[in-house]
Each structure stands twice: as C-alpha cells, then as structure tokens.
Structure 1
Amino acid sequence: MDRRAFDEALALLRAEYPKWEAPAKKSSYGYRRTPYTITISVTLSFRTKDEVTQAAGERLFALADTPEKMVRLSKEEIEKAIYPVGFYRKKAQTILDISHYLLEHCGGKVPGTEAELLKIKGIGPKAAAIILERAFGQSVVAVDTHVHRILNLWGFLHTKTPEESYETLKTLLSDEEKAGLNRLLVAFGQAICRPQKPLCDKCPIKGLCPHAG
C-alpha cells in the first residue's frame, strides 16, 4: 500500500469508526482518568483483553487511585483486585514499584516525556507511547499488536516487531497523522480486521487491502 492509498484507507476507516462495536472505543470509565490511573491501566492491559482490564481497573481504583494510596495496599490486596488479568501477581508488584518510584523520584506525578517514563521499571516504549498519547494528548503512535499487524498486512510497513514499527512510524508520519491512529486501528482490528476470521466482506477498505478476502 503506497502513501496515497494509506491516506485514503485512513479516511475511510475514520468515516466508519462510529459504526463499530469494539472495546477500544469505550469512553466512560468507573474511575477518574488521570495520568496515574491511565499509567496503571496500561500496565494491567498487556496480554489481557480490554474488557478484563477495564473491570480490573475499576476494582483497583475504587481502593486506590493515587500513588500515595496505592502504596498503602499490600501486594495481596492488589492481586485480589486485579485478578484475573494476565500475570496478575507480577503486575501487582509492578504497580507497587511504579507507585513507589513516582513518589520517590517524581513528586508523585507521572512524567510527560518518553525519556523520563522509560526510567521507570515496568514501563517500556510501547507503554510510554500509550501514556503520552492518552494521558498527555501528545502526537505519538502507540504501536500494539493490532497496529503492527494491520500496517504490515496492508504492506505500508515491512517490520518484524511492534517496537520496530514504532520507531519507523515516529519519522514516517506527521503529528496530524499520528493523532488517534492507535485507537482507530485497534478498534478496526477488534471489530473488522480480526486476527482470526476477519470480516473482509464488511471491510470498508477491501478495495485497497492486498489481503482482502
């Protein structure tokens, strides 16, 4: 897919986006959305379905929604609140580690730069990008498996890992093109371009996709 086709595909997807039923489109939450709760919810989300992550976040943040409150909880209390997210025991410890780091090094605030976020144990490039986009409104592309898979399926990228895709998109796309791209492609990947049994007959860009059908 060349650049012109890519731009056309995104325009078509954005027009269809309101029609899709997808967990990524959730706009209301049972907790305050702050840089801290977004950071912790990102930690919960890896290798876990969105609906499981959201429910776990609501249970956890009912107990503690700031680093000051979180460190007062025991690891076992956090584990109980976030179960059954994947690797819940390890994530409970990561949540405590992040909370302690923020209190000890950042005045209890989540930093708003990639460099500072990457200093925090448990936050890698993908998590940092999601935090910068969703918590701070920065123009970055958070590349998860959906984004990596779809852009390579289209032939717009030829990369082997989400990390490689992220580094490529950093310079390939303008700030305007980056804005909202993650949420758009994740919703598309959940509703239409699914990893198994994609709904190619309902795809709004089947005329542009080299793998349609």
Structure 2
Amino acid sequence: MKKSQFTRMVDRLEAEYAAWDAPAKRFEAAYRRTPFTILVSVMLSFRTKDEVTLEAGKRLFALADTPETMAALTEERIAEAIYPVGFYRKKAQTIRQMSRYLLEHCGGEVPRNEAELLKIKGVGPKAAHIVLETAFGEKTVAVDTHVHRILNLWGFLATATPEESFSELKRRLSPEEQAGLNKLLVSFGQVICRPAKPLCTECPVADECPAFTPDSPGSSRRRV
C-alpha cells in the first residue's frame, strides 16, 4: 500500500470517528484521568479485555488514584480490587512498586519522557508511548495488537510483531502523522475491524481494504 492511500484511509476514519468512539469515551468517563491513572490503566490492560480493565480501574481508583495513596495500600488490597485482570497478583505488586518508585525518584510525578518512563519496572515502550501521547499530548504512536493487526491487514506494514511495527512507523511517519493514530485504530479495531467477526459492511474504508470481499465480509481477512 502506498503512503498516499494509507493517509486517505486514515483521513476517512477520522471523519467517521465520532460514530464509533464509544470505547474511548467509556474509559475517559470512568475515573479521573491523570498521568498516574493512565499509567496504571495501561499496566492493568496487558493481556486483559478492555471491559475487565475498565471495571478494575474503577474499583482501584476509588481506593487510590495517586502514588501516595496507592503506595499506602497492601499488595493484597490492590490485587483484590483489580481481580480478575490477567496476572492480577503480579500486577498488584508492580503497581505498588511503581508508586513507591515515583515517590522516591520522581517527586511523585509520572515522567514525561521515554527514557525516564522506561526506568520504571513494568513499563515498556508501548506503555511509555501511550502515556506520552494520552497524558502529555506528545506526537507519537503506541503500537498495540490493534494497530499492528490493522496496518498489516491493510498492507501498509509487513511486520511480524508490534515491536517491529513500532519501529517501521517511527521510520515512515512524521510525528504529526503518528499523533492520534493509536486512539483512532484501537477504537476502530474494537468496534468495526474486530479480530473476530469484523463488521466489514459497516467499514468506511472497506472499498480500499485489500482484505475485503463483498461476497463474504470477514471470511477473507488475514489473521495477523
């Protein structure tokens, strides 16, 4: 896929975004959005369905939504609040350790640069870039499974892992082109271009998608 086609498809999705951004709105309205709660939410979301992450975040942030109050909780209390997210006991330990790290090394604030974020145990490049974009408005792209899957489905990328996709996007797209791409494609991937039973007939870019066939929408889609 040429970059011009990619840009055109993204522009068309952005024009339709308001029609299917319900998942993003649910997260934004669920609890007070701060760099800290965003960082914790990213940690909770690893290998966990979005709805489970959302409810776990509500329960946890009702108890504590700052590094100070979170560090004061026991790991057992955090684990109880976030259950049944995947690896909930390990995540409880990581969240408490991260809260203490922020207090001891960052003045209780979430760092706003990648190098400092990556020093925090449990924070990888994807989490760091989600925080940088969502919490601080940085022009960057976080690549999760939705972004990786959809851009390979379109043929804009030919990569084997989200990490490879991230490197390729950083090389091919300007910061301005990266900005907002994660939020756009995650919502699109949750509502329309779903991994299972995609709603191809409702897709605003189906006519340009190489994986779409009008006779059997969804059945011809490659699995990435």
**Residue ranges of structure 1 left out of the alignment (5+ in a row):** none
| 1:180 partner amino acid | G
Could you say which residue in structure 1 is the equivalent of 2:172?
172
The correspondence of residues 1-213 of structure 1 with structure 2, limited to 5 A, is 1-20=1-20, 22-26=22-26, 28-213=28-213
Note the C-alpha offset of 1:55: 1.4
Decide whether aligned partners of structure 1 residues 27 and 95 sit closer, same or farther in structure 2, where only a CA change above 3 A counts: closer
Q: 1: distance between equivalents of 2:119 and 2:21? A: 36
Tell me, yes or no, if the aligned pair for 2:27 and 2:54 is still in contact at 8 Å: no
- Per-residue displacement from partner, 1:157-177 (whole Å, max 9, x unpaired)? 111110111111112111221
- Which residue of 1 is the match for residue 221 of structure 2? none
Q: Kindly, what percent of the aligned residue pairs are identical?
A: 67
> What secondary structure does 1:112 align onto?
coil
Q: Deviations over 1:173-199 (max 9, x none)?
A: 112211111111011111111111111
In the TM superposition, residue 86 of structure 1 has moved relative to its aligned partner by 1.1
Q: Could you report, residue by residue, the CA deviation over 1:88-133 in whole angstroms, capped at 9, with x for unpaired residues?
A: 1111001011111111111111100111111111000010010101
Counterpart secondary structure, 1:29: helix
Distance 2:41 2:175 in 1: 25
Contact 1:14 1:184 in 2 (8 A): yes
Once the two structures are superposed, residues 126-145 of structure 1 have per-residue CA deviations (whole angstroms, 9 ceiling, x without a partner) of: 10010101111101101000
Q: CA RMSD in A?
A: 1.3
- C-alpha spacing 1:168/1:116, structure 2 compared with 1 (3 Å): same
The one-letter amino acid of 1:60's match is L
Give the distance between the partners of 2:86 and 2:163, measured in 1 at CA. Answer: 21
Q: Is the 8 A contact 1:24 1:50 kept in 2?
A: no
Q: Which runs of 5+ in 2 are unaligned?
A: 214-224
TM-score relative to the length of structure 1: 0.96
Distance in 1, matches of 2:206 and 2:199, equals 10
Q: Is the 8 A contact 1:150 1:189 kept in 2?
A: yes
- Per-residue CA deviation, residues 64-83 of structure 1 (Å, 9 max, x unaligned), is 11111111111110011111
**Alignment partners' CA distance in 2, 1:206 and 1:7:** 15
Secondary structure, counterpart of 1:26 in structure 2:
helix
- Separation in 1 of the partners of 2:115 and 2:127? 12
Shift of 1:31: 2.4
Preserved CA contact (<8 Å) 1:53 1:85: yes
* Paired positions, count: 213
Q: Please list every run of at least 4 consecutive aligned residues from structure 1 whose deviation after the TM superposition is greater than 4 angstroms.
A: none
* Separation of aligned partners in 2, 1:166 and 1:149: 12
